[in-house]
Structure 1
Amino acid sequence: MSRDLPVIGACLPVESLATYRDWLLEADRDLELQSFHLAEVLEGDWRPLVEEARRLLDGHKGRLGIHGPFWGFTVASMDPEIRRVVEKRMMQGLDVCRALGADQMVIHSPYTTWDHNNLDMLPEARAKVFEFTHDTLDRVVARAEDQGVTLVMENIQDKDPAERRRLVDSFGSERLKLSVDTGHAHYAHRSTGAPPVDYYITDAGAQLEHVHLQDADGFADRHWGLGEGTILWPSVFRAVAALSHKPRLVLELRDKARIPPSMAFLEAAGLGR
């Protein structure tokens, strides 16, 4: 197998680390921990969970990140009090990053399909998304800069990947970059008329620091194993290979047992290792 192929990592909850520890360590694979995004966790005592993760990851030399909070809100809420709650949640996510020694946190894009069809209806609509997002995240980004954590904004319903890129660019920070979720992009392509997945990779360009790898049918957010859906994976990996840097490529699968067959699929296709 070519050593030039990208090394694939995974998104895992802490309780799955023991199962995949040897696989993670064998090639210093990137890891995104997905145990710290719920409000109930962030409001509780999450430190024992961090200690367990650190114990299980002893010896791991891959890059480490977390999925930040996202349920129940948008980073561009019109309500100023909600923006303060969202800011608090993001700061709590950065607390976890500091305790873990993680240097990346995934956050969600505010753009929806409804936005795509309505942002040009009122003259101030686009500017308001920027205004509200900055009010939510300016202090979070400043802290991320001080802490050495990169926030990566993931596409959710985004129909035009350039909208999210322009929003991220408006912060002018090396600590706010882009993430592409392949299944979300495929949903937007098949169900809402967005460009195909590789276009999202190409548009992100130098700002792309993170990719969620999941397969889907373009109808729902399946998080299937790779090769089980209809994403054209060679085009996705060609777009990644054209980049001058190496974003984190992590399998985000609903069924973690699909990690080995997904890796077998990538290896057989000569796409990743």
Structure 2
Amino acid sequence: MSDLPILGAALNVNALETHRRLMLDKHRDLELQDFWPAEVLNGDWTPLVERAKSLLDGHEGRVGIHGPFWGFNIDSVDVDVRQVVRKRLLQGLDVCEALGATHMVVHSPYSTWDYNNLDNFENARERKVELCHLTMKDAVRRAEDIGCELVIENIEDKDPHARVKLAESFDSPSVKVSIDTGHAHYAHGSTGAPPVDYYVKAAGNALRHIHLQDADGYADRHWTLGEGTINWHAVFDALAKLDSNPRLIIELRDHAGLPASIANMAALGLAQ
């Protein structure tokens, strides 16, 4: 058991208080999910950070946040929208600095439509990358300065390689890759994308973060691990070949399923 990977969790501060003992028993990696709404980022979030730090007293796992994402993409063509996205990303990194966080999740700009159409227009792939650089350049510099990684998570991505190439294009230690297993399974079941373990293989050692959730291949379920149809043996076999030590973050719709998720993966001999 001691050689098996240790699973962390994505929790809000209230859920962290509920599951604090579980998170500290093996110093599990944590992702706080209180800091993506604009209302929070535009307000005084310092009491929330202080509460989280108090709850994490004695915790030795890695800590990160889910960055802002709602209502925008990182490849916006509109210059005014781009300014708002820049602001949100920098606000998220301000939280990271205050919290001592070492990762912030950023959503991929690649859609199902892109898969079918990026090669239908001249230089569309290059233009998409250029727009992401225009949006993220300040955030990348800020992340480098504070020792934080921006991890780009697949959302609709049908091509598991495009997002990896985007991360590599920044040539920065602070831009890496994230995988959401449920999103990948949705894309596999509903849009003809490869299975989840192929996303792991495509990312290789650029993979620094993974959202673990179970699903049915039809929708973004965020079910307890073991309750859906993801081939977890294939996923963990692919992860075992990596040297990048990605954060293994269980991300559930119902946080009450966290202990069962860990127990189910332990029963399969995959994680602890």
Correspondence for 1:159 = 158
Quote the Cα distance in structure 2 between the aligned partners of 1:125 and 1:47: 41
Quote the Cα distance in structure 2 between the aligned partners of 1:258 and 1:170: 37
Quote the Cα distance in structure 1 between the aligned partners of 2:119 and 2:130: 16
Correspondence for 1:243 = 242
Amino acid paired to 1:163 = A
Q: Does 1:260 align with 2:259?
A: yes
Quote the Cα distance in structure 2 between the aligned partners of 1:118 and 1:171: 24
Correspondence for 1:202 = 201
Gaps of 5+ in 1: none
Q: Does 1:99 align with 2:98?
A: yes
Correspondence for 1:233 = 232
Correspondence for 2:143 = 144
Correspondence for 2:59 = 60
Quote the Cα distance in structure 1 between the aligned partners of 2:110 and 2:131: 12
Amino acid paired to 1:176 = V
Contact 2:206/2:244 (CA < 8 Å) preserved in 1? no
Correspondence for 1:41 = 40
Amino acid paired to 1:209 = R
Contact 2:69/2:106 (CA < 8 Å) preserved in 1? yes
Amino acid paired to 2:261 = S
Correspondence for 1:132 = 131
Correspondence for 1:71 = 70
Correspondence for 1:118 = 117
Question: TM-score scaled to structure 1, two decimals?
Answer: 0.99
Using the TM superposition, give the Cα deviation of residue 13 of structure 1 relative to its aligned residue in structure 2, in angstroms.
0.2
Amino acid paired to 1:242 = K
Amino acid paired to 2:148 = V
Quote the Cα distance in structure 2 between the aligned partners of 1:77 and 1:30: 32
Question: TM-score scaled to structure 2, two decimals?
Answer: 0.99
Using the TM superposition, give the Cα deviation of residue 245 of structure 1 relative to its aligned residue in structure 2, in angstroms.
2.8
Aligned residue-pair number: 272
Quote the Cα distance in structure 1 between the aligned partners of 2:251 and 2:161: 23
* SS state at 1:119 partner: helix
Correspondence for 2:27 = 28
Quote the Cα distance in structure 2 between the aligned partners of 1:26 and 1:269: 20
* SS state at 1:203 partner: helix
Quote the Cα distance in structure 2 between the aligned partners of 1:263 and 1:178: 23
* SS state at 2:91 partner: helix
Amino acid paired to 2:114 = D
Quote the Cα distance in structure 1 between the aligned partners of 2:50 and 2:232: 37
Amino acid paired to 2:70 = W
Correspondence for 1:87 = 86
Using the TM superposition, give the Cα deviation of residue 261 of structure 1 relative to its aligned residue in structure 2, in angstroms.
1.1
Using the TM superposition, give the Cα deviation of residue 17 of structure 1 relative to its aligned residue in structure 2, in angstroms.
1.2
Quote the Cα distance in structure 2 between the aligned partners of 1:180 and 1:197: 9
Using the TM superposition, give the Cα deviation of residue 81 of structure 1 relative to its aligned residue in structure 2, in angstroms.
1.0
* SS state at 2:156 partner: coil
Quote the Cα distance in structure 1 between the aligned partners of 2:208 and 2:217: 24
Q: Does 1:15 align with 2:14?
A: yes
Amino acid paired to 1:128 = R
Using the TM superposition, give the Cα deviation of residue 104 of structure 1 relative to its aligned residue in structure 2, in angstroms.
0.7
Correspondence for 2:5 = 6
Deviates more, 1:64-73 or 1:120-129: 120-129
Quote the Cα distance in structure 2 between the aligned partners of 1:104 and 1:126: 26
Using the TM superposition, give the Cα deviation of residue 264 of structure 1 relative to its aligned residue in structure 2, in angstroms.
1.2
Quote the Cα distance in structure 1 between the aligned partners of 2:126 and 2:177: 20
* SS state at 2:104 partner: strand
Contact 2:222/2:251 (CA < 8 Å) preserved in 1? yes
Deviating beyond 4 angstroms after TM superposition, the runs of 4 or more aligned structure 1 residues are: none
Using the TM superposition, give the Cα deviation of residue 119 of structure 1 relative to its aligned residue in structure 2, in angstroms.
0.3
Contact 2:178/2:210 (CA < 8 Å) preserved in 1? yes
